[in-house]
Structures are given as C-alpha cells and as structure tokens.
Amino acid sequence: MTYISSLAFPAHLVAGPRSVTILGSTGSIGTNALEVIARNPERFRITGLAGATNTSLLAKQATRFRPRRLGVLTTEKARELTALLPAGYSPEIVVGQEGYMAMAQDPDADMIVSAQVGAAGLAPTLTAAQAGKVLCLANKESLVLGGHLIRKACASTGSVILPVDSEHNAIFQALSGHDLHMVRRILLTASGGPFRTRSLSFLRTVTPEQALKHPNWSMGAKISIDSATLMNKGLEVIEAFHLFGTGPETIEVVVHPQSIVHSMVEYRDGSILAHMGVPDMKIPIGYCLTYPERIEHDLDHLDFATLGTLQFEKPRRETFRCLDLAFQALAAGPSHPVVLNAANEIAVQAFLDRQIPFLGIPALVEAALDQHTPRPLDSLEDILDLDASTRTFATHHIATSPGSPG
C-alpha cells in the first residue's frame, strides 16, 4: 500500500518559490487559492490561470497576477477575455480541454491546482500527473473517474498529489509519519448537509435555493448540492480509496454537524488522530500550496468553550441513498463510479434547472447504475466514452420518465 508521502516531495520546491498554475481559478477553490497566494507573494509566481466562462473575473485575476498563460472554455470566451486585458499585457490564451491539458503540463509550472468542477477535471489532472507535476487536488471527480490511471501516472512520473479536499487533507495530516499498515479505520466526517434532520416527505419538496445553503461551508453550486444529497461524501469515499489505498472496508462515514473535526484516522493501537479547525478552505489550500511548511492565515481561532458540544451521529443511509450508491459503485469496480458520477452531474444540473425534484437525483443515479454492465477502463478515452454514454442515458431518462423521478 502506498500513499502520497512527504519523502517523494521534490526537494527544490521546499526551498525555492513555486510556480503555480490554477485550473478553475474563477471558482470557490480557485479564488481562495489566489487569496492565500496574494498574502504570501514571496512564495509564489503564477504561471497560468484558467476559468471556463467567467471572463470578467479571470481578466481581473490575470491583470493582478500576470501569468503567461490563460485558459477559457470556448473561442468566443477567449475573444471576450482578450478585450478585457490591459494594454501591453498579451498572455497566450488557450481554449477548451486541449488548452487546459496544455496548461497542466506547462514546463514553467511546478504545481498545478486542479480546481475545475466535475468530470471536466479528469483530463487536465491526469495530464499533470503524467507530466510529473505536484498536484494540489481539489477536483475529486477526477479520482472518482480515473483514480487507477492517475495513481499509475504518479507511480511512473513521481508526481505528488496533495489533497485539498478538507477531509482528505485532514486524513493526510493525520497519516503523516505513520505506518499505513497500522490504520484500522479512516473516519470521514460529513456535515450531513442542510437537510440532515429532515424527513423523506420534506425532501420531496426542497428547492435548489434550500439545497444550496450549506450549514458550514461556502462552496460552488455543484458540490453544495452533492453535500445536501450526501453524494459528496460518497465521492469522497471513492477519493479516499484512491488517495490512501487502505481498502473500502476501512473507510467509514460519521456525521458531524459542526464541521470542526475534518476527519480522523484510527490506528490499531486504539489511538485516533483527528484534524480540527474552523471550516475555511484556506487552511487545506494553504497547507498544500506551501507543503511541507505551514503558513499563517488571518482566520478566527477556534474557541472550544464557546463551541460547547461537538456532535457525532450515523448517516441516515435510507433517506440519503447516494452514500450507499457510491459505496456500491466502488465495490463493483472501476466503471461503476464513472456511471455514478456522470449520472449525478446530469441529475444535479437538472435539479438546479428545476427539471427534476431533489429525490430525483438518487433515483436517476440508481437507474444509471442498474442499466450498466461493468467494463474495463484502460485509458482516458475509455472513461470519457462511458462518461458520455451515461450522460446521454441520463438526459434521455429525464426527458422520457413519466412524472417526477424519486
């Protein structure tokens, strides 16, 4: 068993300033990463910034950090972006998946922050791993889809993955310096989302606005809905499996409504190491960006006396079915998680667009998994084919299902 160990971290990066490319710089993780970088200018140089559609924000970021490369989703967006850049600054602007992949292997960049949302993050993340980059990985979907390929690439190039996702960052910190064979359980904490205590009949009626209100974290729309269905935790179980390689049976989910304990590792001697902190992504982002050093943030300190109680409880698996669907997909082999993820992405967007109800999300994911015949996934193309055909199935299912699924 292996996991991303500090031993493999490139020595020249420990001492010197780091050249960083951020894919998804206009999102919640991307903007937080740039805030951390802006507070520590002596440590970083920005080599590339990529958004998708938000050209006004990307232009502002580019004007401030002056990278040599920018990325957007379409040629129309590239034209829009060009018009927004100041005179005398002419970065290369790349477009679409090929452009993001080029940025992910930019020879000028030491670190790639993978912070795009969804399956779109897979190809650039895999490219960065194949190019031997240090990867600050927020895009959990890339591991869900292609964890086996990414691990293989890391093993062959020496690419190091530093987990940005708060739980995995917590586990990474709790594992540091310890023997993986002595791990008894990885305890992934889940807030339970905005509907943690709600009944199934309440869930039938919830709106996107209600589902987007995460109790503790401020995040992008897709992950916020995933938190509300517990699919986020399901994806994180698969992410943990690929990152730490301890086997699905060692990974447990425990609901912790305060999101103060970000996850825990239990060792065979009975010791449990927990990582705690205020729920602010600048902490795990900063940990990755400056690894193995720590930096100071301007954040509230935890006051345990004021906090009073930290609660822990079992997830309500019958009500929030996405968690079990993810465990089942992980057990079923490498192609089921691709189906799980693609159907979920279509379902989340359809829910946000008010085409299906909240409970239509697990219903659609289950329907997609039920029709799937497992297959080997030996290449990126295999994964992208299955991702595309599942999206077609899911879209057709929504269009042709009588009434509301769920």
Ligand X SMILES: NC(=O)C1=CN([C@@H]2O[C@H](COP(=O)(O)OP(=O)(O)OC[C@H]3O[C@@H](n4cnc5c(N)ncnc54)[C@H](OP(=O)(O)O)[C@@H]3O)[C@@H](O)[C@H]2O)C=CC1
The CA angle 134-287-302, to the nearest 5 degrees, is 165
Residue 366 sits in the site that holds Mn ion (CB under 5 A): no
Alpha-carbon distances, residue 210 vs 104, 124, 141 (angstroms): 36, 33, 24
Distance CA 404, CA 355 (A): 9
- Is residue 110 within 8 A of residue 19, CB to CB? The reply is yes
Q: Do strands 44-50 and 69-72 pair parallel, antiparallel, or not at all (unpaired)?
A: parallel
Q: Strand 111-114: give its sheet, edge to edge.
A: 92-95, 69-72, 44-50, 18-23, 111-114, 134-137, 160-163
Taking the least distance from each CB to ligand X, the nearer of 27 and 257 is: 27
Q: Which of Mn ion, ligand X, ligand DXP, none lies near 51, with the C-beta cut-off 5 to 8 A by kind? A: ligand X
Region 226-255 residues binding ligand DXP, contact defined as CB under 6 A: 227, 232-233
Q: Does 138 bind ligand X (CB under 6 A)?
A: yes
Minimum CB separation from ligand DXP for residue 12, in Å? 30
Residue 281 binds to ligand X (criterion: CB under 6 A)? yes
In the complex, least distance from residue 166 CB atom to Mn ion, rounded to whole angstroms = 5
Q: CA-based Rg of the chain, rounded to a whole angstrom?
A: 20
Among 29, 33, 117, 190, binds ligand DXP (CB under 6 A): 190
224 annotated among ligand-binding-site residues: no
Rounded to the nearest whole angstrom, what is the least distance from the CB of residue 127 to ligand X in the complex?
13
Tell me if 98 is assigned to a ligand binding site: no
Q: How far apart are CA 168 and CA 262, in angstroms?
A: 8
Residue numbers 140-169 binding Mn ion by CB under 5 A: 165-167
The count of other CB atoms within 10 Å of the CB of residue 313 is: 13
Nearest-angstrom CA–CA distance, 231 and 235: 6
Summarize the annotated binding site for 1-deoxy-D-xylulose 5-phosphate as residue ranges: 140, 166-167, 191, 214, 227, 232-233, 236
Summarize the annotated binding site as residue ranges: 26-29, 52, 54, 139-141, 165-167, 191, 214, 220, 227, 232-233, 236
Contacting residues toward ligand DXP, per CB under 6 A: 165-167, 190-191, 193, 217, 223, 227, 232-233, 281
Contacting residues toward Mn ion, per CB under 5 A: 165-167
Summarize the annotated binding site for NADPH as residue ranges: 26-29, 52, 54, 139, 141, 220
